[in-house]
Amino acid sequence: MALSLPVSAARLAPLLLCSLLAACAAAGPDYQPPVTQAPAAWQAVPLHGTVPAGDIDLSRWWTQLADPQLSQLVDDALAANPDLRRAAAALRAARSARELAAANRFPTLSASAGASRSTALGVSRSLYQAGFDAAWEPDVFGGTRRALEAAEADLAASAADLQATRVSLVAEVALNYVELRAYQARLAIARDNLASQTETAQITDWRSQAGLASSLEVEQARSNRDSTRAAIPALDTGRAGAEHRLAILTGRTPGSLHAVLAVDEGTRGSALPSLPPGIALSIPAEVLRQRPDVQAAERRLAAETARIGQAEAARYPAFSLSGNLGLEALGLSVLGGGGQIARSLAAGVSGPLFDAGRARARVQVQEAVRDQSQAAYEATVLTALEEVQNALVALASGREREQALSSAAEAARNAALLARHRYTSGLIDFQTVLTTERSLLSVEDSLASAGAERVTALIQLYKALGGGWSPRDTAMNARVFPPVA
């Protein structure tokens, strides 16, 4: 349905529509940030070395591990990782979408000009034309305002997504670096044990030739040695996988970091990053405020809430204003003075009379989408709390496990050394030697893994705390995030 008004009545249309615009509130529900219930404190907090999060710069937590090569890899990843560039491009798209939504609130104005020449009965005639057109759809029921509100929330969510990608990227680089160093250490342990077991096999073979050992002992020694040799290729495959993932994370081709990250096979691998003396720990409520994935989920909830109003506004009439000013003249010099002037102003209104419930169904669909976003936000909050708690438990128990394994490894080395000497002297049987050698390899391998697991737990803790970015680095507009109780 459209309505055209005469010029005299149309002059009143802008005032009438502006009055309606001022009097009408935006359709749909106003967004209310969810209040999140957070626990008062964490469980199983490490008793030693915990400091307030403000005492350590969580935006560059990896520097606390005192490993220059790790810091360089993180810097390389932040500069060249494809996923980070994709998230930055998504942020630019969201910013442009917000600008488009803001522009829809204002009128459009266009200009045109033309010239024509005709000849009739031997007389040539030139005609010059110029015109201006304007159109505006007043946002009477707030649909455009809700669209802008949703676009602003989407922009903030995209900015938070960029920072969440940064947090995950930094953690993945650190985790794979620790995994690589752990594999290198385990490879060195396996090679050391292989050399020792090879020496034991040679001693057993010599004793057999001298009639002091049986063929059974010789075969047992060879089996023990070859079992250790068979474990080395699997460890090397794991090392290569971690190395290749680091290359991909830093924007390089697989294998390009081999020379940089390689260690001398004659040593016990490269040392793991060292744990800092103090561990930063935020309170639960602060974690939910600083984690970018929680912020992104909350902003998406705000965007979907605003879109309910956008869908609701589509059920009501739409108003429009349009105007035209045209000039015609036979001469270009008199176009703005003595030419003919044509002008028009029109107002229109259109709205659905019968749509079989389509508009209402769209509102219901959007309400369901909003409810999905609400559930996703709550799940994100619970996951954030769980990740912190799991990392704290792993960090608390990892120290005890590493200390116990360190003592066990020292005892296993002494036992293996004593067993070989006593076997060579004929004081014990060969089965004792096999047992001590196998125990030594197992305990040393577990000790190397336990050391890596402690560093891994710290990395996961800092990731769970939202470390790896700073509000100063984000492009989000300043705003208040949901209150946390």
Residue-wise pLDDT tens digits, 354-370: 878 888 998 999 999 99
Question: Would you say residue 65 has pLDDT above 80?
Answer: yes
Q: Are 483 and 35 in contact (CB under 8 A)?
A: yes
d(CA 443, CA 440): 5
Specify the pLDDT at position 404: 92
**For range 334-357, the mean pLDDT:** 74
Specify the pLDDT at position 113: 76
CA nearest neighbour of 481 among 230, 297, 271: 297
Q: In sequence order, what are the beta bridge partners of 372?
A: none
Specify the pLDDT at position 70: 94
pLDDT band at 381 (very low <50, low <70, confident <90, very high): very high
On the 0-12 / 13-18 / 19+ scale of CB atoms within 10 A, 405 is buried
CA nearest neighbour of 423 among 204, 220, 194: 204
Q: In sequence order, what are the beta bridge partners of 133?
A: 110, 324
More confident of the two residues 343 and 360: 360
Residue 323: how many other CB atoms lie within 10 Å? 19
On the 0-12 / 13-18 / 19+ scale of CB atoms within 10 A, 105 is middle
pLDDT band at 20 (very low <50, low <70, confident <90, very high): low
Question: Would you say residue 132 has pLDDT above 50?
Answer: yes
Question: Would you say residue 11 has pLDDT above 80?
Answer: no
Q: Are 61 and 461 in contact (CB under 8 A)?
A: no
Residue-wise pLDDT tens digits, 263-290: 866 555 568 888 888 787 888 888 888 8
Q: Are 178 and 459 in contact (CB under 8 A)?
A: yes
Q: Give how far the C-alpha of residue 281 lies from the chain's centroid of Cα atoms, to the nearest Å.
A: 21
pLDDT band at 331 (very low <50, low <70, confident <90, very high): low
d(CA 369, CA 308): 9
Share of residues in the chain with pLDDT > 90 (%): 37
**For range 396-401, the mean pLDDT:** 86
**For range 237-251, the mean pLDDT:** 95
Q: Are 454 and 395 in contact (CB under 8 A)?
A: yes
d(CA 219, CA 226): 10
Specify the pLDDT at position 411: 94
Handedness of CA 377, 379, 385, 387 (dihedral sign): negative
The average confidence (pLDDT) of the chain is: 83
**For residue 257, what is the DSSP state?**
T
Mean pLDDT: which of 52-56, 254-258, 353-357 is highest? Answer: 254-258
CA nearest neighbour of 345 among 23, 1, 17, 22: 17
CA nearest neighbour of 62 among 166, 149, 146: 166
Specify the pLDDT at position 359: 86
CA nearest neighbour of 468 among 103, 75, 167, 33: 167
**For residue 484, what is the DSSP state?**
B
Specify the pLDDT at position 1: 39
d(CA 162, CA 449): 33
Predicted model pTM: 0.82
